[in-house]
Structure 1
Amino acid sequence: MLDAILWIFQNIGMAFYNLAYAISHPGLWLDWSDKEAITRVVYYGGSVELFFVVFTTFLVLTGIGMWRNSFMWGCARVLEGFANTVGRFTAWAGLIMVVQQIIIVFIQRIFARPDITLGFGIPLQFDMSWWSEELKLYNALIVTLCATYTFVQGGHVRVDLIYASVSHATKRIIDMFGSLIFMMPMAVLTWMYGWFFMWRHLIVPNPSASESLEKLLMKSRALRWNVETIGFSPSGFNGYFLFKVLLVLFAGMVFVHAIAFFWRSYLEWKEGPESAGKYLDRDTLGEGEQAYEGTH
């Protein structure tokens, strides 16, 4: 037990050095013309070092925020604003998906064409099955990138057995507990799985989460890009590696919003019921919204 506690504090202390070293030596991981730089990104993206850099940053910002509540409110608003901005932009993929499906049906039934060609000068031409399968990407965009936006808007379905009947303070304690015990660990596990799953479909030799940095650097001599372009059908959608990228983005955004949700819950617990929903940027249908929602 003592060794585990010592290990945690050692990694927290090393996080300051690791962050400073990464910032002061950007060429070691940003120069992607160097195969070793790509390998370092692959390794450190799912490493203990990165986790403790993020965790220590969270601890430092939380400590400052407990001292200066206005600072914590500002951080929470920035992260919620980020979730809202990404979600509101990505939500347009739903409209694009509907329009594209209508075009596919129209061209197939009216013109009996086997493909769709777009472009000026250099045409973008794909088989109809490619466009049909590509609709999955729009759905994946909405599911992954709008999850935190929906959370900010209070749109997720909630199974409520105790929460509604308890006091304001108890609700905020439940929220803080949920963000730390459920949201963050779930996001970390999803990131760890998704990170190496993504890279195994982008480069060869395939990296493994169990390999050390030294072993990966040795393998980097044979590293080359091998982006997955195999579809489920010969003429079908061939950009399935994008789904792996979206899985990583989803995990990162959930983790970041778990931090924002913890900060908001703490501040609302400390400041009392009058702070509930303070600075919360939620979409509205305008006057008569309650009556409209009551009919659905």
Structure 2
Amino acid sequence: MQDENGISFFGALWNGLVWFIQNIAEAFYNFGYAITHPQLWLDWSDKESIMRFVYYGGSVEFFFVVFTLFLVLTAIGLYYRNFMWGIVRGLEGFANTTGRFFAWAGLLMVVQQIIIVFMQRVFARPDMSFGLGIPLQMDISWYAEELKLYNAMVVCLCCTYTFVQGGHVRVDLIYAGISHRAKRVVDMLGAMLFMMPLAVITWMYGWYFMWRHLIVPKPSASDTLDKLVLKSRALRWNIETIGFSPNGFNGYFLFKILLIGFAAMVFLHAIAFLYRSYLEYVEGPESVGKYLDKDSLGEGEEAYEGAH
């Protein structure tokens, strides 16, 4: 009985390994086919194309295309170190640019809140109107609830920017006392075991969660491609416009889109963090912070930097 269990275990392990390698090999074909036939999934005038896009965005095939691309870039980067540094600089630059832009949502949130207080308490108005030519006139409660969208933008789209700048709160028990190379090993393990899996899981759950609030019939993660293509016959856009209050903010589908953007940016920065940690491990302590574009408060303010 024990021998049979051992055989079945190793048989399952072998089948899993074959499946894994087979999917990596097929990723090259799937990527090439998607690039050479964009009309099959990008022509959204065709309902079947929309359903194909929905399916592949959360599919095993898409995961292995991304994973295989990561393996290829890593292999090239291990051979050409400057190439890996270029990826790090590009991904960190993307995180910084995106974060610096959407950080202004925090100021916009404060300004809008001040306007809301003035309109309610001073002018006693039930609504507000903004716009040039085509005004956006909504109840004040709509603008008050919209503040949550600005907050979500800061959280989702400035997360990796804050990581690059070293602004996340960390509970350090042993990290500060270990050697340079040990720190880099911890960073690499953290990127591979925590950041990447978390981003993938968030994407897989968030992808269908987002589309269920954009179209009907509602897609499911368990639906096959053939089933989704069959559903496309009855497909229509049904964007969520239900608020928590009668006159409140009704664009909550935007939060689902931000969740997907958050997952994508965390995954991309996990790659950048993994590559940077490896390069700093190989090149030694003198490479710490190499090419790192950190914000500065200006000359004479160095003592306050990093105090947040």
Aligned with 2:301 (options 285, 289, 295):
289
Equivalence for 1:143: 155
2:296/2:305 contact within 8 Å kept: no
1:217 paired to 2:259:
no
1:198 paired to 2:210:
yes
Moved over 3 A (4+): 293-296
Equivalence for 2:30: 18
Equivalence for 1:179: 191
Q: Which runs of 5+ in 2 are unaligned?
A: 1-12
Q: Which runs of 5+ in 1 are unaligned?
A: none
2:92/2:269 contact within 8 Å kept: yes
Equivalence for 2:83: 71
SS of match in other structure, 2:293: coil
**1:258-277 → structure 2 map (5 Å cutoff):** 258-277=270-289
The one-letter amino acid of 1:209's match is A
1:102 paired to 2:84:
no
Equivalence for 1:126: 138
Separation in 1 of the partners of 2:23 and 2:132? 55
Separation in 1 of the partners of 2:201 and 2:307? 39
Aligned with 1:159 (options 168, 171, 175):
171
Equivalence for 2:51: 39
1:5 paired to 2:17:
yes
The one-letter amino acid of 2:148's match is K
RMSD (CA atoms): 1.1
Equivalence for 2:6: none
Separation in 1 of the partners of 2:98 and 2:296? 17
SS of match in other structure, 1:111: coil
The one-letter amino acid of 2:145's match is E
* 1:290 to partner: Cα distance: 3.9
Identity %: 73
The one-letter amino acid of 1:217's match is V
* 1:293 to partner: Cα distance: 4.7
1:58 paired to 2:97:
no
Separation in 1 of the partners of 2:35 and 2:301? 48
Aligned with 1:30 (options 31, 35, 42):
42
* 1:118 to partner: Cα distance: 1.5
Equivalence for 2:93: 81
TM-score computed with the length of structure 2 as normaliser: 0.94
